[in-house]
Amino acid sequence: MNNTVDACYEITPTDLYLFHEGTLYESYNLLGAHFVKKANQEGVRFTVWAPHARGVSVVGDFNHWNGENHQMERIKQSGIWVLFVPDLKEGELYKYEIHTPSNHIILKADPYAFYSELRPKTASVIKRLDTYNWQDSKWMAQRKKEDVYHKPMSIYEVHIGTWKQKETGEFYTYRELADELIEYVVDNGFTHIELMPVMEHPYDKSWGYQLTGYYSLTSRYGTPEDFMYFVDQCHQHQIGVILDWVPAHFCKDAHGLGRFDGTPLYEPIDFQRAERPAWGTYSFDFSKPEVVSFLISNAMFWMDVYHIDGFRIDAVSSMVYLNHDNPLPERIYNQYGEEENLEAIAFIKKLNEAVFHKYPTALMMAEEATDWPLVTSPTDVGGLGFNFKWNMGWVNDILRYMKLDISHRPYHHNLLTFSLFYAFSENFVLAFSHDDVVHGKRSLLNKMPGDYWQKFANLRLLYGYFITHPGKKLLFMGGEFGQFIEWKDEEQLDWLLLDYESHTKLARFFRTLQHFYQQSSCLWRLDHDQEGFEWIDPNNHKQSIISFIRKGKRKGDYALIVCNFSADVYHNFRIGVPSLGKYIEVLNSDDVSFGGTGQCNRQPIAVQKKPYHNQRYSMEITVPPLAISVFMKQTQKRQGRVKG
């Protein structure tokens, strides 16, 4: 990036053309505050897009916030203003003083600022981003060859401010978190960390989903160099980093993007299209090429500068549909009388094409809650071009089922099995996210019915089905040890729960399950292929039992999974199996070490030549209560159980 004193002052006509065309995908090198040389004099070049402004000045401590001496020059036939200020140093505060068409003066933070004052202050900060010495070259080289579809992927979703806090209640910095969080993530068998938005935002309780600084790393938790260190350490420990990203809408705070030059600029001119009443925000205007350049460049920026491995794109449904999650007085329609947002759809396709052109193995994950087709299909066949989609249908169904009184489950058995009708229509991620444990929805553990023991048994069973069901995985922080109270967005997780045996044993089970998942290729090698899954018996609603096979690519690489969602124990329970030999129970959530009752199959089980469940052979097992059992063929290498 051109954030060095070796960069030239000039802005080329090609840069301007591409920016106004919507194809300048590194526009962060053009706009914002950059250290440059002009006539052999070092200083900072400020560049801002404000096409309707009567005049723009740069103000800051260096001129006592008086723009008289630092008025910007408008580049002819362009809405871009530019100014070179000599001798400015890193760390200087600044804003743009904009004279609007209605002769008002407003102060705006730089949309392309690389850093900002700590809230509640709102000035932009002149910042270099080229001084950190990266040590993740091995990861970056390996990433270029990564097969993201046929690898294990288990994502730990984290809100930095509340994962853990200091005794004083202060936040950990990015650098301090690197020393604690990464080791914890590795120990618990996760492959990726997903961070809720780390871009600058004014209000803590928005959780980062209402932004003012898309290019500005939030100063709440430290400096850009601190965050680079965090990402670097993740990569050195073989952990990928995914960011939550919000290209759908932005907050209305006075110093932000809203009515930036005194007119609707980043948002649509049409009030109906601009307003997001449910969130109190403005939608982006995807019909403006400059907004497209701004947003696509922003995705590139985080990957180019911070080595980010991918994004979870928030609120895709509200982008592709004009009226989704938007309680306006009147419904709005496109020029064809339909509800699709054609400009947003075109933007999404263009975004994914641009990202995958430069980063073919990037993770572009859509939070899309409708039945929009081909979300994870390439754009050249009519898809939106993402490579993963959150499976919100499965999450809704399984949580609805698990909350049922155990005696009522036989009447809602289809909630367990319906997802397999569409499980391979997209590349899905099964996501138990923060959205499932806030706003009175209760934590995952507290959603479970029954007495204290049954709650934990149900949650172990849920996690077992979660890990063995087709699709990549995501879990919000705290779920791994049974956070009992729903997420408190101002306090750290309840780590004190690990002083209690039930939570410790749950944590042990989840950690064991995660490492078993990583080591078992049959659980992820064909995640997005129908050949990777086969029902043994999906129809046993009376006993609330399902059984199925997960298959890998190699012959003989498979596991038999039995899930019992009832509180009953079943002995001499016959199950169909595909081949002769002996099977061993490699994992059982009812193991005493995990907090269970110990109804386990401890000896190898001989297969009988008795057809059952449409299989050529069968065997008899013990089915534990509210538990998952996993069986694999006994081999010389595989002789025993997975231990907690």
Cite the active site residues: 314, 367
Q: How far apart are CA 111 and CA 96, in angstroms?
A: 10
What is the dihedral sign for C-alpha 523, 525, 530, 531? negative
Q: Can you read off the two tokens belonging to residue 309? A: 């491995």
Q: Are 550 and 544 in contact (CB under 8 A)?
A: no
Residue with structure tokens 């959205």?
435
**Residue 18 falls in which region: left (phi positive, over 0), alpha (psi -120 to 50) or beta:** alpha
Give the closest residue to 587 by CA, choosing from 618, 621, 561, 619. Answer: 561
Amino acid identity for residue 141 in this structure: A
Q: Are 488 and 159 in contact (CB under 8 A)?
A: no
Q: How far apart are CA 466 and CA 509, in angstroms?
A: 13
Cis preceding-peptide flag for 611 (omega within 30 of 0): no
Q: By CB neighbour count within 10 A (0-12 exposed, 13-18 middle, 19+ buried), where does 543 fall?
A: middle
Q: How far apart are CA 366 and CA 387, in angstroms?
A: 8
**Please, where are the H alpha helices in 197-249?**
224-236
Q: How far apart are CA 74 and CA 257, in angstroms?
A: 20
What is the dihedral sign for C-alpha 289, 295, 300, 305? positive
Q: How far apart are CA 320 and CA 340, in angstroms?
A: 6
Cis preceding-peptide flag for 268 (omega within 30 of 0): no
